[in-house]
Amino acid sequence: KSKEAEIKRINKELANIRSKFKGDKALDGYSKKKYVCKLLFIFLLGHDIDFGHMEAVNLLSSNRYTEKQIGYLFISVLVNSNSELIRLINNAIKNDLASRNPTFMGLALHCIANVGSREMAEAFAGEIPKILVAGDTMDSAKQSAALCLLRLYRTSPHLVPTGDWASRVVHLLNDQHLGVVTAATSLITTLAQKNPEEFKTSVSLAVSRLSRIVTSASTDLQDYTYYFVPAPWLSVKLLRLLQCYPPPGEEIRPAVRGRLTECLETILNKAQEPPKSKKVQHSNAKNAVLFEAISLIIHHDSEPNLLVRACNQLGQFLQHRETNLRYLALESMCALASSEFSHEAVKTHIETVIAALKTERDVSVRQRAVDLLYAMCDRSNAQQIVAEMLSYLETADYSIREEIVLKVAILAEKYAVDYTWYVDTILNLIRIAGDYVSEEVWYRVIQIVINRDDVQGYAAKTVFESLQAPACHENLVKVGGYILGEFGNLIAGDPRSSPLVQFNLLHSKFHLCSVPTRALLLSTYIKFVNLFPEVKPTIQDVLRSDSQLRNADAELQQRAVEYLRLSTVASTDILATVLEEMPPFPERESSILAKLKKKKGPGTVMGLEEGKRERGPDINGGPEPAPASATSTPSPSADLLGLGAVPPAPAGPPPSSGGLLVDVFSDSPSAVAPLAPGSEDNFARQGPCLPPTPDPGPVSIPCSEQNLGPPVQCKVTLPWFVCKNNGVLFENQLLQIGLKSEFRQNLGRMFIFYGNKTSTQFLNFTPTLICSDDLQTHLSLQTKPVDPTVDGGAQVQQVVNIECVSDFTEAPVLNIQFRYGGTFQNVSVKLPITLNKFFQPTEMASQDFFQRWKQLSSPQQEVQNIFKAKHPMDTEITKAKIIGFGSALLEEVDPNPANFVGAGIIHTRTTQIGCLLRLEPNLQAQMYRLTLRTSKETVSQRLCALLSEQF
Partner 1 sequence: PYPLPFPQMRFMLLFSRQGKLRLQKWYLATSDKERKKMVRELMQVVLARKPKMCSFLEWRDLKVVYKRYASLYFCCAIEGQDNELITLELIHRYVELLDKYFGSVCELDIIFNFEKAYFILDEFLMGGDVQDTSKKSVLKAIEQADLLQEEGPRVSHPRQISFVPCF
Site for partner 1 in 588-627 (CB under 8 A): 601, 603-604, 615, 617-620, 622
Cβ 82 to partner 1 shortest distance, Å: 8
Closer residue to partner 1 (CB): 264 or 575 = 264
- Interaction between residue 203 and partner 1 (CB under 8 A): no
- Interaction between residue 114 and partner 1 (CB under 8 A): yes
- Interaction between residue 313 and partner 1 (CB under 8 A): no
- Interaction between residue 946 and partner 1 (CB under 8 A): no
**Are the C-beta atoms of 483 and 449 separated by less than 8 Å?**
yes
- Interaction between residue 401 and partner 1 (CB under 8 A): no
- Which residues, 561 to 590, sit near partner 1 by CB under 8 A? none
- Which residues, 326 to 385, sit near partner 1 by CB under 8 A? 326-328, 361-362, 364-365, 367
- The answer to the question of whether 35 is labelled as a binding residue is yes
DSSP string across 324-373: HHHHHHHHHHHHHHTSTTTHHHHHTTHHHHHHHHHH-S-HHHHHHHHHHH
Listed residue (190, 192, 233) closest to 209, CA to CA: 233
- CA separation for the pair 416, 791 (Å, rounded): 78
- Interaction between residue 65 and partner 1 (CB under 8 A): yes
Contacts of 639 (CB under 8 A, 6+ apart): 629, 632, 645, 679, 681
- Selected from 51, 64, 611, 792, the binder of partner 1 by CB under 8 A is 64
- CA separation for the pair 571, 379 (Å, rounded): 49
Contacts of 590 (CB under 8 A, 6+ apart): 410, 413, 440, 444
- Selected from 61, 81, 167, 381, the binder of partner 1 by CB under 8 A is 81
**Are the C-beta atoms of 448 and 483 separated by less than 8 Å?**
no
- The number of CA neighbours under 13 Å toward the Cβ of 462 is 21
Site string for partner 1, 725-764 (x = CB under 8 A): ----------------------------------------
- Interaction between residue 810 and partner 1 (CB under 8 A): no
- Selected from 61, 284, 713, 758, the binder of partner 1 by CB under 8 A is 284
- CA separation for the pair 814, 812 (Å, rounded): 7
- Interaction between residue 318 and partner 1 (CB under 8 A): no
- Interaction between residue 275 and partner 1 (CB under 8 A): no
Q: Which helix (H) or strand (E) holds 526?
A: helix 515-531
- Which residues, 641 to 660, sit near partner 1 by CB under 8 A? none
- CA separation for the pair 917, 695 (Å, rounded): 32
Cβ 252 to partner 1 shortest distance, Å: 16
Closer residue to partner 1 (CB): 543 or 930 = 930
Closer residue to partner 1 (CB): 225 or 934 = 225
- Interaction between residue 892 and partner 1 (CB under 8 A): no
- Interaction between residue 860 and partner 1 (CB under 8 A): no
Contacts of 136 (CB under 8 A, 6+ apart): none
CA distances from 265 to 32, 201, 210, 234, 367 (A): 59, 23, 12, 18, 30
- The answer to the question of whether 38 is labelled as a binding residue is yes
Closer residue to partner 1 (CB): 289 or 389 = 289
**Are the C-beta atoms of 689 and 660 separated by less than 8 Å?**
no
What sections of 533-590 are H helices per DSSP?
536-544, 546-549, 554-569, 572-578
- CA separation for the pair 326, 142 (Å, rounded): 39
- Interaction between residue 287 and partner 1 (CB under 8 A): yes
- Selected from 24, 136, 223, 609, the binder of partner 1 by CB under 8 A is 223
- Interaction between residue 216 and partner 1 (CB under 8 A): no
CA-atom Rg of the chain in angstroms = 36
Cβ 263 to partner 1 shortest distance, Å: 17
- Interaction between residue 128 and partner 1 (CB under 8 A): no
Closer residue to partner 1 (CB): 106 or 248 = 106
Site string for partner 1, 1-20 (x = CB under 8 A): x---xx--xx--x-------
CA distance from start to end of the chain: 71
- The answer to the question of whether 37 is labelled as a binding residue is yes
| Rounded-to-5 percentages of helix, strand, coil across the chain | 55, 10, 35
- The answer to the question of whether 827 is labelled as a binding residue is no
The partner residues of 864 in beta bridges, in order of sequence, read: 931
- Which residues, 26 to 55, sit near partner 1 by CB under 8 A? 30, 33-34, 37-38, 40-41, 44, 46
Beta strand residue intervals within 165-238, DSSP E: 225-226, 229-230
- Interaction between residue 798 and partner 1 (CB under 8 A): no
- The number of CA neighbours under 13 Å toward the Cβ of 14 is 16
- Which residues, 140 to 159, sit near partner 1 by CB under 8 A? 140, 143-144, 147-148, 150-151, 154-155
- Interaction between residue 281 and partner 1 (CB under 8 A): yes
Cβ 240 to partner 1 shortest distance, Å: 8
The partner residues of 814 in beta bridges, in order of sequence, read: 769, 829
| Beta-carbon count within 10 A of 47 CB | 14
Cβ 134 to partner 1 shortest distance, Å: 18
- Selected from 647, 738, 755, 895, the binder of partner 1 by CB under 8 A is 895
- CA separation for the pair 620, 711 (Å, rounded): 47
- Interaction between residue 132 and partner 1 (CB under 8 A): no
Closer residue to partner 1 (CB): 362 or 573 = 362
Listed residue (370, 438, 424, 415) closest to 594, CA to CA: 438
- Which residues, 239 to 268, sit near partner 1 by CB under 8 A? 240, 243-246
Site string for partner 1, 487-506 (x = CB under 8 A): --------------------
- The answer to the question of whether 374 is labelled as a binding residue is no
- Selected from 71, 106, 627, 886, the binder of partner 1 by CB under 8 A is 106
From the annotation, which residues make up the binding site? Answer: 20, 30, 34-38
